[in-house]
Amino acid sequence: MSLDALLEFPCEFPIKVFGPAEGDFAASVEAAVRLAAPELEELGVAVRASGGGRFVAVTVTFIASSQAQIEAIYQRIGTLPGVLMVL
């Protein structure tokens, strides 16, 4: 089943990315989203550290315009070093 069948575009869409707490991982995730979808004007970015402090969850929320846009963002994020999981 496609996202087009599940969602009515445009809509608010969150993507959560898990990775290392070291370096500028959160900034890399935000940059990847902006590269994949430069037309996005506003991004909501929230960062939460794991209990042990070794990992972070970066949630990026944006107004998605299409399934193709979401897929491009997921693909770009998947190329980042250190990405453990993307939801």
The CATH number that applies at residue 66 is 3.30.70.260
Greater model confidence, 5 or 40:
40
- Span 9-46, pLDDT tens digits: 999 999 999 999 988 999 999 999 999 999 999 999 99
- pTM, two decimal places: 0.91
Residue 80: give the domain boundaries: 3-86
Whether omega for the bond prior to residue 10 falls within 30 degrees of 0, making it cis, is: yes
Task: Give the DSSP letter string of 40-63.
Answer: ----EEEEEE-TTSSEEEEEEEEE
The total domain count for the chain is: 1
Alpha-carbon torsion (52, 53, 55, 56), positive or negative: positive
Q: What pLDDT score was predicted for residue 77?
A: 98
Residue 8 identity (one-letter amino acid): E
Q: How far apart are CA 48 and CA 58, in angstroms?
A: 7
Q: What pLDDT score was predicted for residue 6?
A: 80
- Span 63-82, pLDDT tens digits: 999 999 999 999 999 999 99
